[in-house]
Structure formats: structure tokens, C-alpha cells
Amino acid sequence: MADLNKLTISELAEKLAAGDCTSVDIVNDVLAAIDATDAKVGAYLTLDRADALAQAKAADERRAAGERNPMLGIPVAIKDLLNVKGQPCTCSSKILEGYTAPYDATVIAKLRSVGAVLLGRVNMDEFAMGSSTENAALGKTSNPWDLDRVPGGSSGGSAASVASDEAIVSLGSDTGGSIRQPAAFCGCVGVKPTYGRVSRLGLTAFASSLDQIGPISKTVKDSALILEAICGHDEKDSSSIEMEVPAFAANLPADPSLAGMKLGLPKEYFVEGMDPEVEKAVRAAVEHCRSLGAEIVDVSLPNAKYAIAVYYIIATAEASANLARFDGIRYGMRLDGKDPAELYGKTRAAGFGPEVKRRIILGTYVLSSGYYDAYYKKAQKVRTLIRDDFTKAFEQCDAILSPVTPTPAYLKGEKTADPLKMYLDDILTTPINLAGNCALSLPCGFASNGMPIGMQIIGDAFQEDTILKVGHAYEQTTDWHKSRPAL
């Protein structure tokens, strides 16, 4: 193994262009890394080696014919809720065990068009419901930095595969922080794009007004490169915005100066009970941005404190509607009953895990007669207030800096007995999804126990260029992203 799996998209693109390696070489190195470490990490659910090598060979042929694209021949791990034609799409749930996707999600079709290699399916919390990947029904995933700790969730497999160099880059989905939180826990870069920037067609929906697909990568530039590939209008997705895709990577300045930029610091995001090492690391990162020329200004997001309550009303309500399709009739698991009602009940009881059942019940409750106005309608009103807070804040600054999570990655089993305690992990990420804005997580330090700490850079709607610029400047003048776990 030539350790090609440890390189970034940018580095590999240079080697491929120079003829120093082939896409087949890269895939072989990634497969060798999976063989060597995934028994410990558990990032992958399924892996089609022959197909990955065939895709790599085809990419090499396209390059030999003169095609040039930084994503050409780059292996990408896929979260197991994105449909890839001919591959399983289980959402790490027993109810979809054995199901094979009949079509490509739009993001997958876009990756195929640029010649990326679709490597395999990585683990996740069942139907993306969780913050630790402990709710996965079909596999167990560990944090590569400490195998006794969680990788975060729900895109835990996506983050763990990149952190352990078992993938060059991965795709995840973010409903309330499910890209940014595992990226922070695993020492990676994660981007949640603006709602509507990336097509959701072919994403198995959890909460349709909140879900967004995005990358987890080793560097900010790598995230910019794959964002260019997956963004863009999709006429088949009514939530997709018709807007030109910027040249995200080319727009990253060579000069890491942040002179002329105003970066907001929200007092509400340094919450009571936050791990002091997390606060210290993020405040040091803020000061580093100041040293790069940024002006740090205080901003207020007063309604952020309601975000968890609002999120878990809206998200569970939408989940209860979206998951109604998994009934044992059309696809997936089926347990026979004497009538349709018994068939539905037996299939869903056996197929769904406890967290999914909990959220379906909560969602059905808040939508039920007599409670709709008291809970769901009121939550939608407060959601508007949260969005308005961000609008006002961005009148004072170009981007907002904050922690990603109140703590670093915690031990497995530490929060499984108390769902509410785990829900509070999302307190700093859910407001962005409720507002529909974009945000980025990147490494900014380590706790004394050796676990990574992430800083969040929040942008206004469709301001991915801005958050990528800030993240890139910080990354180019620090070394946190260069550290790798010792597996």
C-alpha cells in the first residue's frame, strides 16, 4: 500500500494529472485500508469491491482520453440513505434489510457524471435518527480516535470512514447537525449546505424541510471540490433552488487573510454546562481569526434556546409522515397478519428500532387533533423567529463562529439510557437547519483525553463561499486538520 488513501482530493488530483498513480491504485489503497482497520472502526455496511475497481478503471480510461476533473477517479463513501442503483439502501434499519435501490439519487448521478468512484455504503443511525450511530440496527461504528467512544451521528459511518482514511471523502446528510457533529467528533471537515442548494431526490427523507446532503472531508478545499460536483438545480425536486453553482474551490483565496471580514460571536452559543475545554479551544480559534484580520463582533440569537424543542416537534412530525410508507406492502420487510392492520403493526414493530418508534409516536402526537395548534403550529411560528434572528445577525457580520457541540465525543452507552440528554447534543446545530442556512465544521483543537474539538462557521443562506473562505483561511494557518488517529 502506497498510502494514497491518506491523501486529499487535491493531492490525488495532482498525482493523477501527473501520471504518478492511477484511480485503480487509489481504490486498491483504500480497500487495503478498509481490510486493515474496518474490523475495528465498523464504518462500512456493504462494499462492492469489483464494482469499485471497475469504476476506477473506467475513470482511468476517461482520463487517458483527455478528460480533466478533480473528482475523476476519487473514491467516495456513501451514507446508507442515498439511493445508488443496484446497491442496498437500508438506512441501517431492519425494515429495509435486503432492499436494493432501483435508481440513482441526483447527487449520485452528478458524482457519476464527473467520474467519482462510488465506494460503498457506510453506517448511520437508523433513518438518520440519532447523534451517536448507536441507533444503527445493522452495524456498530466506533470513533477512530478512541474505539470506546461514539463517532457522532447520524452520519457516524461517513465521518469515521474519512477519519480512518478508509475513504478520501464521504457524503452524509444533515437534518439537525448530522454532518457537522460527527465531523467534529472525528476531526474532519463537514459542510451542511443551504437548504435547496443540493437536490434531495433519492435521499430517504427523515424530515423533508430540514434534510440536506453534504460532504465530510479531510480539508475545506476538498469539501469545496465535492460541493461543486453535487450542487445545482434539479427540476425533479421542488425544494431545489435554480441558482448558478459557484466555483467553490477556485474562489478560495491563496492569501489566508480575513481582513475586512466581520465575524459574529453569539453569547447564546456558549451554553451553561459546556465542556470548558471545548469553550477554550473555540475561543482560541476565534482569536486566531482575529489575528488573521477579522473583526469580531458580538451578535445575539435570543430564540436559539428554543431550537431543540422546536426541532423535535417539527422533525418528529415530518418523520411520522415520511415513515408511513414503510408498511410491509411495497418494499422491505413484511410480516404477515390476518388483515392489513395486523400486517402493518407486526412489520413496523419488528422492523423499526426503539428510537424510530419513539419519534414516530411523538410526531403523530404533535400532529393529532387537539395538539396540532398547541405544538406543531406554535413550533412553526418560533421557527420563523429563529430564522429572523439569523437575518438580523447577518446584518452585522459576514459569518458567525461557535462551537459545534457542547462536549467532545463521549463513551459508548453514556447517553443511550437518556434520550433527552442525547437530544441536547444538537443544541448548537439545529438552529441552522431550522433557518435553512449553511454551516461548516472544522477541527480547532483537542481535549485532554485526545478527542477532537470542532468549530462551527455559520453563513447566511447561499453564502457557502463565505464560510469556505473563513474555514480555509483558518485551516491554512493551523495544523489541527493534519492530525490523524493512530489505528
Which one is catalytic: 131, 170, 173, 178? 178
Cα–Cα distance for residue pair 474/480, rounded to 1 Å: 10
Which one is catalytic: 79, 110, 221, 412? 79
Is the CB of residue 223 less than 8 Å from the CB of residue 443? no
Closest CA to 74 of 136, 162, 8: 8
Cα–Cα distance for residue pair 341/30, rounded to 1 Å: 47
79 in catalytic set = yes
469 in catalytic set = no
For 118, 248, 364, the CA distances from 229, given in Å and listed in that order, are 14, 10, 37
Contacts of 418 (CB under 8 A, 6+ apart): none
Instruction: List helix spans (H) across 302-439.
Output: 307-322, 340-351, 354-367, 378-393, 419-423, 430-435
The residue whose grid cell reads 463561499 is 465
Closest CA to 99 of 135, 50, 45: 45
3-state SS, one letter per residue, for 174-187: ECCCCCHHHHHHHC
Pairing of β 262-266 and β 212-217: unpaired
Is the CB of residue 133 less than 8 Å from the CB of residue 141? yes
Alpha carbon of residue 2 to chain centroid: 29
Which one is catalytic: 142, 154, 199, 441? 154
Would residue 38 be called left, alpha or beta, if left means φ above 0 and alpha means ψ between -120 and 50 degrees? alpha
Query: Exposure pattern of 352-387 as b/e (b: 16+ CB <10 Å)?
Result: bbebbeebbebbbbbbeeeeeeebbeebeebbeebb
DSSP annotation of 241 reads -
92 in catalytic set = no
Is the CB of residue 475 less than 8 Å from the CB of residue 135? no
Cα–Cα distance for residue pair 67/77, rounded to 1 Å: 23
Closest CA to 204 of 132, 127, 124: 127
**Residues assigned a catalytic role:** 79, 154, 178
